[in-house]
Structure 1
Amino acid sequence: MSIDFYLEKNVATITINRPERMNAMDADHYSGLSQAWTRVRDDPDVRVAIITGAGDKAFSAGADLKSFISQESPLPELFLTQKGQLLNRGLELWKPVVAAVNGYCLAGGMTLFLATDLRVCAKHATFSLSEVKRGIFPANGGTQRVAQQLPHPIAMELLLLGDTIDADTALRWGLVNKVVEPGDLMSTAMDYALRLAANAPLAVQAAKELVIRSRDMDLATGLRLEQMMFRTLQGSLDAAEGLNAFAEKRQPRFKGC
């Protein structure tokens, strides 16, 4: 049981490794996942992350309900809003994240999935926000992101009925970028990741941050922030490298500065 972290070619692969429990996460796994996301955020050698689950049956079934529902945390912890931050619970991570969904993507696994940027799933993958069938609702961003990413009636169908959809439906609804054969899942995710890592890191991060922050800003404020970020990056070494590489008809060698 672990959260595995592997870094190669500026791509961090994070694997929820608990296949015997459909990669459901207890407190220890959530803590390990928080540490992994923090490393992705802070390590300059990481430009992109891939998140997946061990085995071929499940991405993640979400929280291990037996370890959470029956326990009450001390009330003061409600106000420790920066403790154990997760990608889907408010951690500000502007590096792109690719989801490789290798099976069941349920409950908290799906709220994690909804916090990623590019998404690939195997043909046998299924998706569900089924918490209402267990007397709770999808927290850690579940009620927020599904409504942002899907039309209202479709979001309500997922949230309030708790039914399961298959990979083709997820593709049709725009929840995933590609549906692939199981054997092609990780190679497809890695292809996305390497292409992302080859782009200018600061430009990629700025673009992601602007998109995410636009959800909470009026257009005038968003345009102004966009202008300020653009002006800042105009003077970067990567911007100069991009122009030089274009003029010299070669691939750019971005350094993130």
Structure 2
Amino acid sequence: MSVDLRVEDGVATITLNRPERSNALNQEHYRGLSTAWIEVRDDSNIRAAIITGAGDKSFCAGADLKEFIPNPPEAREMWLTQTDQLLNRGLEVWKPIIAAVNGWCLGGGMTLLFATDIRLAASHAQFGLPEIKRGIIAGNGGTQRTLMNLPYPLAMEMLLTGDPIDAATAKNWGIINKVVSADELMPKAMEYAHRIARNAPLAAQASKELALRSRDVDLATGLRMEQMFNRFLMSTQDATEGARAFQEKRAPRFVGN
């Protein structure tokens, strides 16, 4: 399958496995990616996820335009908004997601990156939104999430020039957390994922949801939501376990309940 999913020790690794096409996605691969995200969302054994690309040249080159442009979807599909939902196109996945960018991150790969929570890149990675050079726009959230992730002039530079930036610039602009060597990329991503997975999973998901929803609500509403979420979390087994483990000076054993 061109989208591989592996789960080990509470961490899911999704690999876009089409290196001969720079891990570009056609309709079949988008469906496979949607299925993978839904499994991450619904499997209670998964506490964190990593998304990466196969090979050492490309994370994801976005949509496979050689297939999409000559074969656009039918007009009626415009309103099938719940079909094959993606992380960057409406699917709500509150589990923490780490991007391990192992090469070119372009177009839909970039908008996928913008929908992740922690982002690592190999030093040779390149980032860009080149759609404007092909006569189209950055879709699947490209025109929306770029300004959420970057100051206005930097976002508009990416959207309007279509020119790529290197990993050092991406880190300087705040798009990614760390730049590492290619051989350190997956070990570092896995280290992050395991650090997250050791924490209380319900609290991790609540933290992510509240942080993202803060973009859409006023401060008073956000503070009230935060209070309500914390009141709920205090009633869970994990909160009891966290307090007991602190008192007994040991590592907590969270179960997500």
Fold shared, TM-score > 0.5 on shorter chain:
yes
Q: Cα deviation per residue 1:99-147 (whole Å; 9 max; x = unaligned)?
A: 0000000111111011000011000000001111110111111111110
Identity %, equivalent residues: 63
Q: Distance in 1 between matches of 2:179 and 2:55?
A: 18
Equivalences, count: 257
Offset, 1:79 = 1.3
Offset, 1:222 = 1.1
Offset, 1:74 = 2.2
Q: Distance in 1 between matches of 2:101 and 2:89?
A: 20
Q: Distance in 1 between matches of 2:127 and 2:75?
A: 32
Q: Cα deviation per residue 1:151-171 (whole Å; 9 max; x = unaligned)?
A: 100011111111110000011
Quick one: which amino acid aligns to residue 140 of structure 1? N
Q: Distance in 2 between matches of 1:26 and 1:43?
A: 26
Tell me the secondary structure at the aligned position of residue 227 of structure 1. helix
Tell me the secondary structure at the aligned position of residue 7 of structure 1. strand
Q: Distance in 2 between matches of 1:72 and 1:31?
A: 16
1:76 alignment counterpart: 76
Which structure 2 residue ranges, 5 or more long, are not aligned? Answer: none
Mapped pair 1:201 → 2:201? yes
User: TM-score w.r.t. structure 2 length?
Assistant: 0.98
2:150 alignment counterpart: 150
Q: Distance in 1 between matches of 2:198 and 2:143?
A: 34
Which structure 1 residue ranges, 5 or more long, are not aligned? Answer: none
1:22 alignment counterpart: 22
Tell me the secondary structure at the aligned position of residue 88 of structure 1. coil
Q: Distance in 1 between matches of 2:217 and 2:80?
A: 25
Question: What is the aligned-residue RMSD (CA, Å)?
Answer: 0.8
2:104 alignment counterpart: 104
Q: Distance in 2 between matches of 1:245 and 1:78?
A: 52
1:162 alignment counterpart: 162
2:212 alignment counterpart: 212
Q: Distance in 2 between matches of 1:50 and 1:203?
A: 19
Offset, 1:181 = 0.6
Q: Distance in 2 between matches of 1:215 and 1:142?
A: 17
Q: Distance in 1 between matches of 2:30 and 2:98?
A: 19
Matches within 5 A, 1:39-58: 39-58=39-58
